[in-house]
Chains A and B, each alone.
Chain A
Amino acid sequence: MDMTLHPKSSSSNSDSQAWPSQAVLDEIALSRAEYEMILDRLDREPNPLELGMFGALWSEHCGYKHSRPLLRLFPGRSSRVLSKAGAENAGAIDIGDGLALVFKVESHNHPSAVEPLQGAATGVGGIVRDILAMGARPIALLNSLRFGPLDDPLNRHLFHGVVEGISWYGNCIGVPDVAGEIYFDPAYSQNPLVNAMCVGLAPIDRLATAAARTPGNVLLLVGAETGRDGIHGASGLASRTFESEEERRPTVQVGNPFMEKILIEACLEALATGAVEAIQDLGAAGLTSSTLESAAKGGCGVELDLSQVHRREPGMTPYEVMLSESQERMVLMVPPENVPTVEAVFRKWDIPCREIGRVIAQPEAHVRDGNRTVARLPLRHLVEAPRYRLQGQMSAEQRERQRLSLADVPLPRAGPSEVLLKLLASPNVASKQAVYRQYDHQVQTNTVVAPGSDAAVLRIKGTGRAIALCIDGNGRYCYLDPYRGGQMVVAEVCRNLSCAGAEPLALTDCLNFGNPQRPDIYYQLEWCIRGMARACRALGVPVVSGNVSLYNESRGQAIYPTPVVGGVGLLEDATRHARSAFPEAGLLVVMLGGATSLPPLRKGGSGGISPATKGFESAWRVRASDLAGSEYLQVVHGRVAGRPAIDLSMEKRVQALTRQAIRGGLAASAHDCSDGGLAVALAESCIQGGVGLQGGEVFARLPRRWDAALFGEAQSRVVLSLKPEHLPQLARLADEANVPLRELGRTGRARLKLGRRLDLPLTEIAAAWQGGLERALGKDTGKGSS
């Protein structure tokens, strides 16, 4: 490869014969117009290495070309936010006691589509290093997964590979995997979504920075050798659609979780010496993005000598070294006099540690291979990727999809019991225990509420407090109405945190969309973000970090617009938390929230309150929007239609009341109504608690549209169980908060009975729910789960 610096050619006209060819530009995912922009900025032609560096940094993955103007719409501040989104490797928030929580979610969709095990494994590894680069110890992993239906062998292959990859990598590094979600829909066939989130903990005064601010500081490259794997991962894989997966195999990285584990320990040990000024992980676009972005953040430049980079194989070109995405590597910026201290730490851990360059005052990237200059570019030109504000357009089909009236949906011939069993066994609703039991969710001994409830709860040792964590998305809602769907995703995350008893503090998001250059996709992207931002404001939670994954298409078909949101909440008292399981018999079960137009609760005599028993008819006021995008509509009627709705002010009140009930020790359990609606939520709480439920009078008067009442997914509803003596106090709080509260029944006996037409033994609903996923995978479950 010719590495000399080309003068700008006399004719810069885009002639298909001229270098770079269209094939070269496609490889690095730059448009011809962007190439012209580079010529203008440099006033000369870039050499192939330089062009590759532009391609990497101007990729959507690193440069956020299409999304950055929209991402500004998210609120990013609160009294607890310590770092601005995008300013460092992950968002950080203050949780009190001088401690910071650091977290971020990131996608690894495209690598997982090509090689699911390594794709998912390195997705975990990558997000863990983002947290490590903040100087924090990783304390929890979460993941959000989406696949096509499991009856397709390719989707099963992807599913098994991804789960095994997460299990293999996550278990080895000793970070518990505490929460997640898994969905199946034809929209994700061959384009699975693999979003991994990591949460870290650090004393606030020990948070690290990625900014290289001091010229003269030495760049130490630590960790795995650099190999030829993953070249063009950022530009090639994540920045365009691809037809043939075989074509992309060499661009997938291979993980080494053992190296990751010792890298975590060694980096934290090195940071603790105080000898390190800045630290950065090598992720997408490897050495190029890590060193250049660090220098740009610190207002400095960087000089690299590639001959010093330790390599996996001989004969690698500077281009390959600069763009390799080999895993398990970090770069540390260290004052020269501190280098021996840092080197000693890595020697102890047997981890290679090499001086590969220096921070320089001149704001440029000067890349040498020994004494030969192979690239020299002003940093500004590289890190300021072009921004595109496109014009979105709602597709005509979307309007069509939104049309739905209850009259269009025939009442199913099967009765409520049969429908419930069918929904419980649907892989989207069924227990995911068969998956999460393959993940170590207890290591580090902080896990108070394990996977299976609405949110995980982890205690923070030495403080008496706990945090709650969850991750959620709903592509169907967003597909039907991006703006409302975006609101609903944020609302559900905060509701799940609230159901654990936690105050939602901050969010991280992963925006999974199709090709934004298509107006209908850009419309989805823009309006999902607007909807999410609106809900964030309404619920008072900032977005502190995130990631964008665009071009999620296979064979011309885009995935559902799928923003995935990870949430972090705080519990002041770790012992005051809730699970979704009904813990015992003899408890009252109530629903908070729901229909907005209920008559107010009537206060009874003797200080007690009789919950709105008069309001049943209006309680069951069902609307077409309840069925919009519901699991019921998909599973029973094979339709994805309608226009879901949410009332954010009701949502806020319901969540606040839920938290109040848990903190005050009134609620014995809490579970939100989501996929499958009220009946599924009640069934899950019964199964998890091993206790039945005897539905009260409210179920004796189901409306004619029992399907919408039992299985509709109206938002802002939470099911609580409580001791009967706590009801008056809860009802008073609900009244004050203007939240509808309805008595649903009492726990007890080994059956779920909701009126005359839904009456099933606990064993039968448990078998449907616990074995649903394994049956879909074609495994004979034989016995119930342990």
Chain B
Amino acid sequence: MVDPVNALMVFGFIVIGLTALFITQKKIVNNIRRTQNDKMKMHVEDALKHIYDCEYKNMGCTLHSIAGNLSISSDKAAKVIAKLESLKLIMNDPDKIKLTDEGRKYALQVIRIHRIWETYLADETSKDELEWHDDAELMEHTISSEEADRLAASIGNPLRDPHGDPIPSETGDIPELEGQQLNTLDEGDTARIVHLEDEPAAVYKNLVSQGLHVGMDITVNKRDKEEVLFESEGVSRSIPPVYAANVTVVKFEASIKPESYKKLSNLKIGEKGKVIGISKACRGQQRRRLMDLGIVPGTVVSAEMVSSGGDPVAYLIRGATIALRKSQSEKIYIEERLSEVSN
């Protein structure tokens, strides 16, 4: 008979080996894909994206900014620029790198695929927001624009990606940049978040963990060198001004105040409320499901009972008793509590 101690040891080694393989597997697969995809093509496309982004935001674009953005050496970046020039995708003026019409078209195509893929991930999968970007970075070089068009059609030709960036149309149309950075707002200003920059990832992660999302209305309470303090959805939040620069907002006219609202999750058993809307953070299938159930502005909803575990809570919605989880009910906005509303 096999000695049990030896058997266990051999087994242990196999498990460690497999785990190691599993952890490195993703990296290996990515590397293989990259070499197959031709690294140069990837760099060219990424560089085009970066130059386009600079032009869109009216910032200067240099060899160094390209090297930094693509995480490659300056030598390598110079090669990429030379390649772009030889393909007639850019014009290299002595002081500034500019896209040709051909180059702009190409850049918009790559951006379109990237943003469509992010929208697809946000709407039709359970991947969380921190994974969207990296996944899309890979896909934009992998799928063809015809495949992207089909994908876009299948998710209803979205206009904007989940970060609020406009998705270029098939013909390459894209609207003007709008809004201003959050750190340029004054105290007392009210505004709506229209864009969250997803690079660098660390900053984006912080913004997401603070609960920020596109479509959120905010009121700035305080702004100084250390922090931007603002209120939204009844909660006070604070972020460093550097981080706030990655949030784009559109200011409301001074006369307009964002509506004051509660969340459905704030309702106590027996209370009623009128739905104002569903948060933009609730997307795709989940959003459609809630609307199918009749959660649209004007619907009166009452909290009926709590399950024995505390979550979910059952609500009476248009004559049907529907259980919703807390993660859903806190994304549904209602008017101030109405103790007695006639149905």
The answer to whether A and B come from one shared complex is no
Q: Which residues of B are in contact with A by a Cβ distance under 8 Å?
A: none
